[in-house]
Amino acid sequence: MPGFQHAPHRTMRRRLARALISLLAGLTLLLGYSVAPASATEGDWINEGGPARSAEAMSAAVFQGDRFEILRGTDNRIWWRYRNGEWRVMPGGGITEHRPELAVILNGSTPRLAAFHLGTSREVYYSFLGGAAGNIWSPWAQVRGTAHASGNLVASSGVMGILLTTIRDNRVIVQEMRYRSGQLYFEPDWETMDDVHTHDRTLYYSQQVTLQSQVVNHRVTVNDRDYDTSVVVGRDQHVYIAHTIADADGLRGGVYSELPGGGLCESVAIGRGGDEVPTSDPGDPAYAAQQNVSIACISPQDHTLWVNRSSNGGFAWSGWSRTAGGNAYSTAGPEVDGDPGGQVFANISWSGGENSNLKQRMILMKRIQ
């Protein structure tokens, strides 16, 4: 099967949702900032991808109770599976040089699973799942506007829609997909986050942060507001974080500042527990689950995985630490996702030595929170 060694066995008026993160490789400082400690319970590393091989980590989403996974094969085609079943090529001939993404959007009360990828044209394309058992997806369609992206793509699910985030000319740009009266809607074009206009106010992101090609994003919902946490890696390899509030009045806040605790990264990723589409009801058990947020970072010194955890939705962090149970070596960015019960997982594309159990570009995953 091409792309695998064997037959293989995740706006502007802006609401954001799923916790996304790009992994930065390289902590060169002792990271010990500690506020609001989060659970550090970890699992063992497992071969989550089975026979699949990818130059990058995979994306995942839980949709209608089933775990769906998506990745870029070694042939640059887009492969997906669900329920740990067989890997299949997505129909439509999509080709990408970046990790594809999965996110859930609500059409009224009906959830739909969408896949996204950054094409070789540097534009963003989407497809909706029509039937998992039959490998039925809608034809790839271009997201409205001109992205002309130069970095990775992330997709975040929210109550109001899906926020798409990427980088163009070292600036973060966003577009939002949502349903309006049953019709799919996009903003007129991608918008640069350095210059977001809301009610005659301009939201400015820090101009001194010159970005690498990675940005990651996640969203939680509190009292009918979506709180988006955006994490980027600067050219200085420091990690910068911004919090944005999205509600009926638009988008507010969002100035990038360095993540407390220092540290250097090549790549980063961010993700949370809870349902794919967050809840705003504090009485819902999923509300507590979605407060578990983790950032994963690849160190530029030794290319191993470090993590930083939050138990309050990404507003306070435990401090950087290595993952337990052996070093996870990767030269590519990781990914972070969660389950409805609140557990958070990191996965990587293995770049270390090979033996009977470990192979190059194998997808390894473990619980990190």
Q: Angle CA(112)–CA(281)–CA(197) in degrees, nearest 5?
A: 70
What does the pLDDT look like over 78-122, one tens digit per residue?
999 999 999 999 999 999 999 999 999 988 889 999 999 999 999
CATH architecture of 46-367: 6 Propeller (2.120)
What does the pLDDT look like over 3-35, one tens digit per residue?
333 323 332 222 222 222 222 222 222 222 233
**Res. 205 pLDDT band, cuts 50 70 90:** very low
Q: Whole-model pTM?
A: 0.81
Rounded to whole angstroms, the Cα distance separating 67 from 69 reads: 7
Per-residue pLDDT at 226: 63
Rounded to whole angstroms, the Cα distance separating 258 from 233 reads: 10
Rounded to whole angstroms, the Cα distance separating 170 from 187 reads: 21
Rounded to whole angstroms, the Cα distance separating 303 from 308 reads: 16
Backbone angles phi, psi at 287, to 5 degrees: -65, -45
Rounded to whole angstroms, the Cα distance separating 72 from 97 reads: 8
172-193 as b/e: b if 16+ CB within 10 A: bbbbbbbbeeeebebbeebbeb
- Distance between the two ends of the chain, CA-based, in angstroms? 35
Rounded to whole angstroms, the Cα distance separating 138 from 115 reads: 10
Tokens of 352: 């270390």
The domains of the chain are located at: 46-367
Backbone angles phi, psi at 194, to 5 degrees: -75, -10
Given a cut of 60, is residue 39 above it in pLDDT? no
Residue 207 is given by DSSP the state T
Residue 249 burial (C-beta neighbours within 10 Å; 0-12, 13-18, 19+): exposed
